[in-house]
Structure 1
């Protein structure tokens, strides 16, 4: 079983959504990512090159969420999962994409989708 490296609450401005006003005005999306990584080699060597650089990952995730508008947050979550699995040390990933300003016509705290992906 892999260890977990987790990023929570990464805020990124994007223009995703099915409504024209979402595409025009944009809104803040919040991303949580949990990555299955064997951290033992890094811990033994105390060496960043033996693990996942979460600073670099955060920048890459923010870019993936902030670019190229799409209709569905499911599509954005898949984009983030694919990016994470491109890192050779990542065995599996859980991505939650929050859309707290989703225009649902009723008061709510959050709308989110969570996906689980692995190499197998």
Structure 2
């Protein structure tokens, strides 16, 4: 299947990281989503109920990223992926969590974790 919905550079403020100051002060995170699904039905029906409503998806991702802090962006990526599976249409998804302000002594443009998964058997 080659149909995709892609969200790039969703900018959110979160309180994730292993250091106390990251959980206290927070920092900017960027989220990329690449969702594989069949868009044939929604293309014919023009009914948003037949596809992933990306406005609802973004709201749900925002709730995760701005919500309860986690230590690792790997964990955050897994939680965001869990939001994708709340929609029935995706068959696979890739989530990238960027942490451009990661507290490092070296200068880097970005630190990111990318997770790609097929829909788990146990989800609708």
Q: Within 2, Cα distance between the matches of 1:117 and 1:64?
A: 18
* Unmatched 5+ stretches in structure 1: none
Alignment pair present for 1:110 and 2:110? yes
* Unmatched 5+ stretches in structure 2: none
TM-score with structure 1 setting the length: 0.96
TM-score with structure 2 setting the length: 0.93
Alignment pair present for 1:72 and 2:105? no
CA-to-aligned-CA distance 1:3-43 (integer Å, 9 cap, x gap): 11011100110110001111111001000001111000000
Moved over 4 A (4+): none
Give the match's secondary structure for 2:115: strand
Q: How many residues align?
A: 120
Q: Within 1, Cα distance between the matches of 2:23 and 2:81?
A: 23
